[in-house]
Amino acid sequence: MSSHFLDRIKIVLCRPEGGRNVGSICRSMENMGLSRLAIVGDISELNLKEVKGMAIHAWPIFEKAERYETLPEALNNTIIAAGLTRRRGNRRKSFSYLPEELAKKASQTAEGTIALIFGNEQNGLNSEELAACTTACHIPASPENPSLNLAQAVQILLYVFYRQAESKVGRFCPVELETVDKLTDTIISSLNDIGFFDKPDRFDTRSYFRDILSRASLSPREARHMEKVFRKIANLKKTDL
């Protein structure tokens, strides 16, 4: 069992409303050997008695939870940021892992925080929150009623990751999300300099590159080389002028 792998996993709850759900999540985390919890948004209306009643011995997980105003802040220093969602469509992720696929990919890395992001009980992750993630994950369910309870969805993912921790963990150390964002900015800036965007960008090219680069799990050397390539492309265009 790789406890180090489990220590790297951070559960992120966006705008949770139900105290019982939050408490149940804390208990599930302790059951599966996890302790890193982050909460995004205002939880002043959260019923703390309900949280404590369901968490029982896992109450310290809630007490020590990281608090953030926005999701991007919560995702600093992460190497994987996977948002759980069952919905597809415009402004949603075009690629989505099964829980087992996501856990296996995460276990191939040796260092860095792996964030599993869950949305509000009523509406799940909104478009802006999902855009802040680098990939999506979905839990297969009956099409007649595919929406899972928040605490149950978290429990399923945690169980899969716990089982994955029993397998061999990789040694690869990919770059963190901040590096991916900077590289994406360089790519978009270079494309803009060479006149690629001759029309309004209807395809959200930035998100396209950001998601692909994140899934690629670039090494620091690969990220630096790709940045040099795109900077040179932009400079070649300027030389032609």
Lowest mean pLDDT among 55-59, 89-93, 121-125, 195-199: 89-93
Residue 94: predicted pLDDT: 77
Q: Which of 214, 5, 224, 213 is nearest to 108 (CA)?
A: 5
To the nearest 5 percent, what fractions of the chain are helix, strand and coil?
A: 50, 15, 35
Percent of the chain residues topping a pLDDT of 90: 79
Q: What is the mean pLDDT of the chain?
A: 92
Tens digits of per-residue pLDDT, 5-19?
A: 999 999 999 999 999
User: Between 201 and 51, where is the model more confident?
Assistant: 51
C-alpha distances out from residue 170 to 4, 5, 14, 82, 213, Å: 12, 10, 30, 19, 19
Tens digits of per-residue pLDDT, 116-149?
A: 999 999 889 998 999 999 999 999 999 898 889 9
Residue 68, classified by CB atoms within 10 Å of its CB into exposed (0-12), middle (13-18) or buried (19+), is: middle
Tens digits of per-residue pLDDT, 155-174?
A: 999 999 999 998 877 888 89
Whether residue 2 is predicted with pLDDT greater than 80 in this model: the reply is no
Angle formed by the axes of helices 150-164 and 19-31, nearest 10° = 10
Please state the rounded mean pLDDT for residues 226-238: 88
Distance from C-alpha of 62 to C-alpha of 234, rounded to nearest angstrom? 48
**Confidence class for position 89, pLDDT limits 50, 70, 90:** low
Residue 235: predicted pLDDT: 87
Domain ranges of the chain: 3-164, 177-240
Residue 241: predicted pLDDT: 55
CB 175 within 8 A of CB 79: yes
Please state the rounded mean pLDDT for residues 37-53: 96
Structure tokens at 98: 């099964």
Q: Which CATH number is associated with domain 3-164?
A: 3.40.1280.10
